[in-house]
A and B are shown apart, each in its own frame.
Chain A
């Protein structure tokens, strides 16, 4: 075991982590621990753009953006946070441009903007061009630009270090962060990082679904590390299903395709979104479009021999426009489906995409241990966190924005805290939990296999807690997850070595997914209403009287070692927008 000491430790090197690292490195001695090499993060898979009311191509302002974000989140958004997001969006985009990001340009040479789902002029009048973009590889450009600037600032990375435990110490009745424990993939060695402040920026949990746009590595490691140490997880029942994943594969095809004029069609060639969202049509918010697609499929208007998908039609758009604005997604269609998007529509289905919930934070990125109490020295930003700017449903282009605005805020806040705080003394034997976890899995002779349990988890999540949910399906999922968690105790790995043991890490990641899937299902069961990405067929309406509140899920451990989930609730921050019925 090695012990390191840094002012600030950042967990994760995607957009939020690197944006935080650029700020934190200027102000404090900072280390970034990342389980992948920095440019491998799934930020790079984001395509369509980053929202900011620059008003470069038409009238726009941050107040309209704030409203759209709150409405898009079905009023579960904390409105003070949404206002910060929309206001700081403008500088966030301009900062990236100054760092070198190659945005597409208008004829005037300013940053070009395009339409995106849920973003509107004057509180819902018509779609507005608010998404700043670089073809359909905006996330790639953000990731590369941030890494380039990390190189420029001399950010110190520990590549292929898996953070598996968050050290929490209670001092005078206050829970404080003392550091993290990491596993080095190359050697199998365990490292303790003592740090005055820790920022989680480790991304989402999308791999507990089968059809997902998420990378294999998105296994909720940060959420699980905090949750296991008694910190709550907020709004975990809210998961976004992106309408246009490649059929069966789940690979993302950007909403920018519809922003450029692409149309969703059923087997009769009908533009069905006109029925469900007369104003915004194909550019309604993602939860609305995903439900509409599945409604078409269930009512027998799906495409293909099994009627299990619909089409994204780009054939009416000029090939030059597709080449210039959507080069990557058209190539995906060619590579993975053998389809030419110039002439043929692309089969798509909704794909698990984004966790709105996560580690609760305030607008400075400080992690909360209950509804109001800050954990000194602990921060989170990006998909791992829940500020909550996305509420019950995130708008497209607001996540690339979120990682930049709140990554920056967390980086500054954490480094400033490091400058004035002392180290919290490490607990006795700080690596204990990780050592026993690793040893147990490596030495296990159990008969269960990681791949089997993971496959069953993904199948039950897809079947039972996806776009449509009922009490019965969620209960089925809860029972199945409990069974899988029991079987997981008997899991073993074949690779017993220390060097690059990805077999072992996949087993640990599965443990994280199982814990988080359970939190999601239990939170969803208790929310007896429909709101944003959480749609209950048995409670099809939003219920502001009983459920205009954030879910807070805590892990409780009984004396006999058995764990359970305790649910609590937190009020939503409302400033100037009264909840209204959501229509597009």
Chain B
């Protein structure tokens, strides 16, 4: 044996007495088969320290290959696997089984407000369109400097929170205003506008504010804080939206 990794396999076998039985109650929808969505239960053995994503993989790989969901990095960075778990928007790869009361069935549904295409997969295009509409890129004028633009650590810190966004849509699809009106830009687009409005290097803050001054812009926000609760990156989303509203009133940012 070369690399001492077989120990791990044995260790896993030894750890099997930590396994518990859980029920995943998953919202299934496949228009190739039926026009209606249904709930389906799956029972599986799992270590409570594993992720909900691990549970979904066990189902897909061992029980039902047709179960469909998006995922990639599996540790909360890529933003692929936002879903509604026990009624709350979370990333499946960042939610451990033990933290969501495995004694009861764990419900898993697609995020709300976006068209469901199959099982847990939703149409992300309207979400990315709202993002693109807020000019999510640095705008500057004049000749470019030879070296980097200077920015103080304080100015850099000003927009740090909103640079963390991974575009998972957990916030936007937790927003009751967005559920009722898909025209609303939604929290994620506003967060990404905030990231540039408050960047000292940027010169298009006024234009972005005008975009968000629209009837489907920031004024639709009812400050329910669902978005802040939902954000897997811990961004203070509602606060960012409030800062954009304040900037619109004071025209200072």
Interface residues in chain A, defined as those with a beta carbon under 8 Å from any beta carbon in chain B: 36-37, 39-42, 44-45, 93-94, 97-100, 102-111, 134, 137, 140-141, 144, 148-149, 151-152, 186, 210-211, 215-217, 248-249, 251, 294, 297-298, 306-308, 328, 331-332, 335-336, 338, 449-451, 459, 462-470, 473, 493-495, 497-503, 537
Q: A499-B118, A500-B68 known; A45 and B75 CB under 8 Å?
A: yes
CB contacts between A and B, total, < 8 Å? 188
Cα A537 to Cα B2 with chains together (Å): 8
Chain B interface extent, by class: 35 or more
The reply to whether the CB of B39 lies closer than 8 angstroms to some CB of chain A is no
The reply to whether the CB of B252 lies closer than 8 angstroms to some CB of chain A is no
Pairwise interchain contact A107-B153, C-beta atoms closer than 8 A: yes
For A104, what are the chain B residues with a Cβ–Cβ distance below 8 Å?
Answer: 153, 156
Q: Contact mask B69-107 → A, CB, 8 Å, 1/0?
A: 101111111111000000000000010100000000000
Pairwise interchain contact A42-B117, C-beta atoms closer than 8 A: no
B2 in complex: contacting residue of A152, A470, A500, CB < 8 Å: A470
Cα A111 to Cα B30 with chains together (Å): 50
Pairwise interchain contact A500-B121, C-beta atoms closer than 8 A: yes
Pairwise interchain contact B152-A151, C-beta atoms closer than 8 A: no
Contacts A/B (CB < 8 Å), 22 sampled:
A94-B147, A97-B148, A97-B149, A98-B149, A109-B153, A144-B163, A151-B132, A151-B136, A215-B78, A306-B10, A308-B7, A450-B65, A462-B5, A464-B3, A467-B3, A469-B3, A470-B2, A473-B2, A494-B64, A497-B30, A499-B117, A503-B65
The reply to whether the CB of B9 lies closer than 8 angstroms to some CB of chain A is yes
Pairwise interchain contact B4-A297, C-beta atoms closer than 8 A: yes
- Shortest Cβ distance from residue B162 to the other chain A in the assembled complex, whole angstroms: 10
- Shortest Cβ distance from residue A272 to the other chain B in the assembled complex, whole angstroms: 16
Pairwise interchain contact A109-B151, C-beta atoms closer than 8 A: yes
Pairwise interchain contact B148-A140, C-beta atoms closer than 8 A: no
Pairwise interchain contact A493-B4, C-beta atoms closer than 8 A: no
For B149, what are the chain A residues with a Cβ–Cβ distance below 8 Å?
Answer: 97-98
For A449, what are the chain B residues with a Cβ–Cβ distance below 8 Å?
Answer: 61
Pairwise interchain contact A248-B79, C-beta atoms closer than 8 A: no
Question: Which 3 pairs of residues, A with B, have the shortest CB-CB distance?
Answer: A100-B138, A494-B65, A451-B61
Pairwise interchain contact A294-B3, C-beta atoms closer than 8 A: yes
The reply to whether the CB of B32 lies closer than 8 angstroms to some CB of chain A is yes
For A110, what are the chain B residues with a Cβ–Cβ distance below 8 Å?
Answer: 147-148, 150
Pairwise interchain contact B150-A216, C-beta atoms closer than 8 A: no
B117 in complex: contacting residue of A93, A500, A501, CB < 8 Å: A500
Q: A44-B78, A148-B138 known; A466 and B65 CB under 8 Å?
A: no
B128 in complex: contacting residue of A37, A109, A501, CB < 8 Å: A37
For A451, what are the chain B residues with a Cβ–Cβ distance below 8 Å?
Answer: 61-62
B1 in complex: contacting residue of A335, A473, A501, A502, CB < 8 Å: A473
- Shortest Cβ distance from residue A114 to the other chain B in the assembled complex, whole angstroms: 14
For B167, what are the chain A residues with a Cβ–Cβ distance below 8 Å?
Answer: 37, 39
Q: A100-B199, A451-B61, A503-B66 known; A44 and B163 CB under 8 Å?
A: no
Cα A469 to Cα B5 with chains together (Å): 12
Pairwise interchain contact B11-A308, C-beta atoms closer than 8 A: yes
For B62, what are the chain A residues with a Cβ–Cβ distance below 8 Å?
Answer: 451
Pairwise interchain contact A216-B4, C-beta atoms closer than 8 A: no
For A450, what are the chain B residues with a Cβ–Cβ distance below 8 Å?
Answer: 61, 65
Pairwise interchain contact B11-A335, C-beta atoms closer than 8 A: no
The reply to whether the CB of B46 lies closer than 8 angstroms to some CB of chain A is no
Cα A549 to Cα B209 with chains together (Å): 58
Pairwise interchain contact A36-B2, C-beta atoms closer than 8 A: no
A463 in complex: contacting residue of B3, B32, B60, B79, CB < 8 Å: B3
Cα A244 to Cα B215 with chains together (Å): 49
B74 in complex: contacting residue of A98, A105, A215, A462, CB < 8 Å: A215
Pairwise interchain contact A464-B2, C-beta atoms closer than 8 A: yes
- Shortest Cβ distance from residue B132 to the other chain A in the assembled complex, whole angstroms: 5
7 new A-B pairs (CB below 8 Å) besides A100-B137, A462-B3, A464-B2?
Answer: A41-B78, A44-B166, A215-B73, A216-B73, A450-B65, A470-B2, A500-B118
